[in-house]
Amino acid sequence: MQVTFATRRSPLALAQCRAFVARLVAAHPGLEALEKQVVTTGDRVQDRPLSEIGGKGLFVKEIEEALLDGSAHFAVHSIKDVPATLPEGLAIVCIPAREDPRDVLVSPRYGTVNALPRGAKVGTSSLRRQLMLKAMRPDLNFVPLRGNVDTRLRKLHAGEADAIVLARAGLVRLGLADRATETLMPEVSLPAVGQGALGIEALLAARDIVALLKPLHHPETAACVAAERGVLAALEGDCKTPIAAFAHRDGTFMRLRAFISEPDGSSPRTHDETTTWPDDEADARRLGEQAGKRLKRG
């Protein structure tokens, strides 16, 4: 059997996609997988914050078009880049086991958030990360920083910032985990919805592809991601709204934490609940939606 998979061209997208496909081929001896690289709008526009050009969904639009026109059978996404609502006919049909979902600080000179000097420049374009760190260190100055991981690391070493904040999962997948100087616990920096998880998107009607991907699906990760995406769907936040949500398993329970504020950082609201582990992904999404609605009501 021969399949074509779609991916962005960034080094991180290629690394995580190829690692997933290698596992898929190992699970299906004789499978031939062809790579289709797609340049998305989010990749092309690097001089403006995502909040100004349409949000993270711009990293998946052209890839989804390849799925819909049949030029690719499935796509591998960082699920935090995937909007809560998908085009008709498409679905996230496989979610592999999650990588570490936490944020990290990279600051070779200072090491930790607490060690940063007063007024230090921290590079991140994420409103969520800015608000999380401002709560801890209101004196910090934030500078916009876009581009792939290598570009951000180069800008850091060029002196454009004293520190940068990245997802630990991206560094791990690129073999750069040793660049992190501090791992930020969720209590300090609540992760983005789906951070650290991959989402494999395909036509829901393509049953042969769905069956092919099923062995790599990880139900526990999928339930946690479903709860987080339920929060996102209920909040209906636009690309300028800072939203965070993180679910994890604790024995027979699920703990779900969520956050939202106004785009300017005002009216921050949090939600933290522990419930019985959901029966399935649909149940997990309902839990997330209920939590999101409570946050929305304030």
- Catalytic site residues? 81
Q: Which helix (H) or strand (E) holds 250?
A: strand 243-250
Q: Is 87 buried (19+), middle (13-18) or exposed (0-12) by CB count in 10 A?
A: middle
Q: How far is CA 210 from the centre of its chain?
A: 22
Largest CA distance in the chain: 59
CB of 60 closer than 8 Å to CB of 82: yes
Q: How far apart are CA 78 and CA 11, in angstroms?
A: 13
Three-state DSSP state, 191:
coil
Q: How far apart are CA 267 and CA 263, in angstroms?
A: 9
Q: How far apart are CA 33 and CA 212, in angstroms?
A: 12
Q: Which two tokens stand for residue 96?
A: 């592999």
CA separation, residue 208 to residues 35, 148, 201 (Å): 18, 34, 14
What is the number of other CB atoms lying within 10 angstroms of the CB of residue 147? 15
- For tokens 């993180």, the residue is 246
Which of 107, 81, 97, 98 is closest to 10 using CA atoms? 81
Q: Which helix (H) or strand (E) holds 146?
A: none
Q: Which two tokens stand for residue 297?
A: 């009501």
Which of 263, 256, 265, 260 is closest to 297 using CA atoms? 260
